[in-house]
């Protein structure tokens, strides 16, 4: 009888923990500006995003009481938030409340359960940058006046429904395209007004352009052969891309309205992954013409073709830094893809990432201080950012979906990237915290 009662208690406690945790997540969702309290707690900062919605929480609890030890749980809860205040409601009628400061959650409370009272003395949790996951721990106790049980729980949670970090004030994730086709490889114009990308919505892969809010969607190329990896030149008047329209992948340029399409490279090997120099006079790209992928550079009129790397491994995805003195690229020369940087003449190659996973598709911010790239070091492709010297590597997206090929907007406050988090490959933006 005791074991049965305590077992039921533990399950409920786990559920409570999940609810509390979810509640804490819910805290992420508010937005200090929406707090109706005219005299808010000055120690609380604005939540990082809107965490209202449904969450799945999984975890384990431990207790010095044998009958209460070692249970695992999977729970769901509905979270609501107003400013820094959180509430979480479970399907068993449990209701909890707490607060959030930035991305840090703190909760406590007592409620009737299984003929006794459960008390959560402290629940703490940390919400990820995109407000789609959180993790934490709590201390709990239960007593019915005869039996008692206490312990701790650790948990993780992921969002099932809700709006990510989108809050009043514009912070968060915004889906720009929602077509059943695949939209990918976005590039933000230097003035921040437009985004160019490739899409299969017309059948084959072609180049499309839209405003930075997803409006005014326009197809720029219309061929039966695949085309992709578009990049704006510095003043936004031209776009470089690769095309297979001549039989193999070559580098092409066109005006940003789709006119003036011209072939830049002409080789039986595969050329692609091109980007402009800051002055618009040169194009750097990767080519297989030496027997493996290497980095090459060419004038924007197709003259003065020069090979920059001669490694037997694969080098790709090159891009100039902001002052045109260096080129960042990905390379597998040490066994797996990492981010490297070199001078524009190919000298002084320097490794920036040294992770055992694959890091690739690096882009500089407009001011050259940061680098965005994607990495599968967390088990799937996610967006990461780091300083231009490779320090302070920080994960931006954390879902178990594919987030990749990111780029900064003109002032480095937002990123654009491709993601299948909606069940289909689409273009998303995110406002950095």
Q: What percentage of the chain has pLDDT greater than the value 70?
A: 84
Q: Which fold would CATH assign to domain 2-162?
A: Porin (2.40.160)
Residue ranges per structural domain of the chain: 2-162, 173-431
- What's the DSSP call for residue 303? -
Per the DSSP assignment, residues forming a β-bridge with 62 are 152
- Distance of alpha carbon 359 from alpha carbon 364, whole angstroms: 14
- Distance of alpha carbon 18 from alpha carbon 15, whole angstroms: 5
Tell me the pLDDT tens digit for each residue of 361-370. Answer: 999 999 999 9
Q: How confident is the model at residue 5 (pLDDT cuts 50, 70, 90)?
A: very low
Helix (H) / strand (E) containing 130: none
396, pLDDT greater than 70 = yes
Tell me the two tokens of residue 80. Answer: 């609501």
44, pLDDT greater than 70 = no
DSSP 380-412: S-EEEEEETTS-S-EE---SSS-EEEEEE-TTS
Rg (CA), the chain: 26
Tell me the pLDDT tens digit for each residue of 50-72. Answer: 778 887 777 787 888 877 777 67
Tell me the pLDDT tens digit for each residue of 222-261. Answer: 999 999 999 999 999 999 999 999 999 999 999 999 999 9
309, pLDDT greater than 90 = yes
pLDDT of residue 81: 76
CATH of domain 173-431: 2.120.10.30
Tell me the pLDDT tens digit for each residue of 92-143. Answer: 566 778 888 778 888 888 878 778 888 888 889 888 877 888 888 989 888 8
pLDDT of residue 229: 97
């Amino acid at each position: 009888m005791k074991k049965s009662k305590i077992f039921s208690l533990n399950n409920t406690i786990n559920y409570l923990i999940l609810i509390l945790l979810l509640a804490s997540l819910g805290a992420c969702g508010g937005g200090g500006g929406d707090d109706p309290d005219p005299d808010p707690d000055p120690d609380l900062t604005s939540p990082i995003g809107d965490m209202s919605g449904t969450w799945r929480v999984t975890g384990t609890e431990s207790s010095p009481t044998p009958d209460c030890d070692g249970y695992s749980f999977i729970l769901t809860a509905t979270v609501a938030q107003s400013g820094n205040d959180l509430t979480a409601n479970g399907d068993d009628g449990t209701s909890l409340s707490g607060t959030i400061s930035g991305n840090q959650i703190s909760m406590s409370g007592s409620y009737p359960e299984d003929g006794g009272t459960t008390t959560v003395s402290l629940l703490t949790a940390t919400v990820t940058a995109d407000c789609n996951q959180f993790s934490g721990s709590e201390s709990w106790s239960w007593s019915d006046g005869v039996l008692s049980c206490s312990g701790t729980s650790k948990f993780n949670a992921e969002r099932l429904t809700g709006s990510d970090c989108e809050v009043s004030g514009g912070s968060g994730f915004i889906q720009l395209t929602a077509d059943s086709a695949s939209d990918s490889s976005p590039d933000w114009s230097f003035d921040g007004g437009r985004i160019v990308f490739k899409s299969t919505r017309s059948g084959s892969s072609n180049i499309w352009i839209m405003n930075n809010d997803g409006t005014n969607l326009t197809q720029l190329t219309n061929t039966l052969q695949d085309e992709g990896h578009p990049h704006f030149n510095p003043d936004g008047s031209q776009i470089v891309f690769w095309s297979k329209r001549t039989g193999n992948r070559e580098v092409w340029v066109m005006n940003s309205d789709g006119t003036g399409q011209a072939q830049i490279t002409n080789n039986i090997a595969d050329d692609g992954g091109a980007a402009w120099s800051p002055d618009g006079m040169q194009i750097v790209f990767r080519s297989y013409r030496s027997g493996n992928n290497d980095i090459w550079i060419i004038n924007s009129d197709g003259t003065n073709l020069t090979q920059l790397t001669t490694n037997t491994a694969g080098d790709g995805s090159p891009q100039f830094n902001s002052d045109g003195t260096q080129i960042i690229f990905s390379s597998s020369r040490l066994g797996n893809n990492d981010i490297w940087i070199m001078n524009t003449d190919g000298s002084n190659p320097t490794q920036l990432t040294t992770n055992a996973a694959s890091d690739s598709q690096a882009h500089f911010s407009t001011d050259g201080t940061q680098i965005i790239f994607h990495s599968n070091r967390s088990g799937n492709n996610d967006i990461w950012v780091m300083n231009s010297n490779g320090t302070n590597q920080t994960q931006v997206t954390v879902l178990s979906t594919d987030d990749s090929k990111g780029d900064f907007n003109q002032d480095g406050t937002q990123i654009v990237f491709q993601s299948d988090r909606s069940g289909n490959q689409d273009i998303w933006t995110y406002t950095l915290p």
